[in-house]
Amino acid sequence: MDSSRRREMLAPAIIVAVGGAAILAAWGFELIGGFVPCKLCLQERVPYYVGLPIALAALLAALAGAKPTVVRMLLMVAGLVFAVNVYLGVYHAGAEWGWWAGPADCGAAGGPVDDVNDLLNQLDNIRIVSCTEATWRLLGLSFAGWNAAVSVFLVATAFWGAFRPLADRAPSAA
């Protein structure tokens, strides 16, 4: 594998690794920590579900030796997708800090209900997470704040990969 191909693989590989770790952490807090995601939390996952496959396609294109233009176009699209997530994360974090109002319909969603006993069991066991209350903070940032920070990193990485200069290529033998 030549150095120009490895160079084209770097940005999408970073995005897949960091973005994958972020969504896995969200699922882990939900499954292991018992946190129930609110409406905004679920909306903030959608860019990962869209952006990570695009970044993976860019990585696979680079691995296959596609033209740098293909890889870079995919990185630009992934960067735009994660830019939407920056907005969602900042909006959610701002609602948690009380800087602006969150959505009026934001709360946890329960699973399917077949009868009254299912509903009562869900009410006993559910952990409601409001969009306007941070349930956890690390270094002052909530889940939404960390999502915004990770998304800024993903956008920066995608655009760095898309717009950095092409590697110098040795002249081809004619």
CA distance 70 to 9: 12
The domain spans of the chain are: 3-133+142-163
Question: Per-residue pLDDT tens for 36-73?
Answer: 777 777 888 899 999 999 999 999 999 988 888 899 99
* Burial class of residue 75 (count of CB atoms within 10 Å of its CB; 0-12, 13-18, 19+): buried
Average pLDDT by stretches of 10, the chain with 174 residues:
75 94 84 74 89 95 88 95 92 77 60 66 62 61 79 95 73 50
CA distance 145 to 139: 10
